[in-house]
Chain A
Amino acid sequence: GQQLNQSPQSMFIQEGEDVSMNCTSSSIFNTWLWYKQDPGEGPVLLIALYKAGELTSNGRLTAQFGITRKDSFLNISASIPSDVGIYFCAGPPKAGSYQLTFGKGTKLSVIP
């Protein structure tokens, strides 16, 4: 089945630093979603992207829909301890599908 590759798998950063992570697919996606999951909780939707080249912000988070339609990027500026968690990208694996396939996630650790 369709797979989404997220990188890096994990990262340790100092509080205050900016963070970048990405998600790639072998096929074209027409929607990209970014979620964050805290330990012991369900994923929370952060940002949704619907157009190639789209750049959308949610507070300190900014996500971009890659122009090739096969990738997406998530940036976090001025990280804080509560940014700790696992960040997942997701998208519909088939054109016209409303089901989602998820990446394995990027685990973020913030050192105070």
Chain B
Amino acid sequence: ETGVTQTPRHLVMGMTNKKSLKCEQHLGHNAMYWYKQSAKKPLELMFVYNFKEQTENNSVPSRFSPECPNSSHLFLHLHTLQPEDSALYLCASSLQGVREQYFGPGTRLTVT
């Protein structure tokens, strides 16, 4: 059972498109995260938000733009992506100061 939902579950987009991924957590957490999962690579942390404030940006290209309007919602805006950006994008949440993170089911993104 997961209290973190992500939409859409699957997305195919062209390199000139603009799309957004959405994450919502129902766990009362106040920290949210975006990860990228590519084949044969460890999960890569992209962004961290604590109490709606971005606290980490791990050298992510500007074609990925996060938005956290409140502690329950997190978005990842995508524009002019490259084929190598195709991956599973995972959202997670936690209580601030607690290391246990809970993941959503992910969005499988394919860039054509």
Which residues on A are within 8 Å of B, measured CB to CB?
A: 3-4, 31, 33, 35, 40-45, 48, 88, 90-92, 98-105
> Which of B4, B43, B48, B99 is close to A88, meaning CB atoms less than 8 Å apart?
B43
Interface assignment of B100: CB less than 8 Å from any CB of chain A: yes
Which residues on B are within 8 Å of A, measured CB to CB?
A: 2, 4, 6, 31, 40-43, 45, 48, 56, 90, 92, 94, 96-106, 108
- Taking A42-B2, A104-B42 as contacts, is the C-beta distance between A98 and B98 under 8 angstroms? yes
> Which of B41, B97, B103 is close to A43, meaning CB atoms less than 8 Å apart?
B103
Number of A-B contacts (CB under 8 A): 57
- Taking A99-B45, A100-B99 as contacts, is the C-beta distance between A42 and B104 under 8 angstroms? yes
Question: Do A104 and B41 touch across chains, with their CB atoms under 8 A apart?
Answer: yes
Question: Do A99 and B48 touch across chains, with their CB atoms under 8 A apart?
Answer: yes
A100 CB → nearest B CB, Å: 6
Name 7 extra pairs, CB < 8 A, besides A45-B100, A103-B42: A33-B99, A43-B90, A48-B100, A88-B43, A98-B96, A98-B97, A99-B45
| B90 neighbours in A (Cβ, 8 Å) | 42-43
Question: Do B94 and A98 touch across chains, with their CB atoms under 8 A apart?
Answer: yes
Instruction: State the CA gap A35–B56 with chains docked (Å).
Output: 23
> Which of B42, B94, B96, B105 is close to A102, meaning CB atoms less than 8 Å apart?
B42
Instruction: State the CA gap A33–B2 with chains docked (Å).
Output: 17
| B101 neighbours in A (Cβ, 8 Å) | 33, 45, 100
| A91 neighbours in B (Cβ, 8 Å) | 99
| A40 neighbours in B (Cβ, 8 Å) | 105-106, 108
| B6 neighbours in A (Cβ, 8 Å) | 42
Question: Do B45 and A42 touch across chains, with their CB atoms under 8 A apart?
Answer: no
| B106 neighbours in A (Cβ, 8 Å) | 40-42
| A103 neighbours in B (Cβ, 8 Å) | 42
Question: Do A4 and B42 touch across chains, with their CB atoms under 8 A apart?
Answer: yes
Question: Do B45 and A100 touch across chains, with their CB atoms under 8 A apart?
Answer: yes
Question: Do A98 and B31 touch across chains, with their CB atoms under 8 A apart?
Answer: yes
